[in-house]
Amino acid sequence: MFNFFSTKPKNYEDIPAGPFHDLSLQKDTVILDVRTPGEFAGGKIRGARNIDIMSANFVNQVKNLPKDKTYLVYCRSGNRSGQACEIMADLGFENLKNLAGGIMRWPFETV
């Protein structure tokens, strides 16, 4: 029987800034900032690539990324990056980490 109250299992992990930072230093990780280019220009996590989730071609931009890497995804508060992780999971990505609380909770250096 179908349960209307069941939630879809998350196919990504919300992780705090510490583990996110540690993972960002590993060579097989890709840091994705899914904020707008304007937000991105205002300060980002070192090494991050900007792919705006609000842009019309977000799916086209991410679907060509290599699926064998670990993706560290963040936005301002963790909301849009969670949505980005869901979209990416639907596209077949398996190693997705969402920065819990977003860059607002990032205690480390931004560039």
Q: Which residues are catalytic?
A: 75
Tally the residues of the chain: 111
**How many CB atoms sit inside 10 A of residue 67's CB?**
12
Amino acid at site 74: Y
- Angle made by CA atoms 9, 94, 58, in degrees to the nearest 5: 95
Q: Which residues pair with 30 in a beta bridge?
A: 71
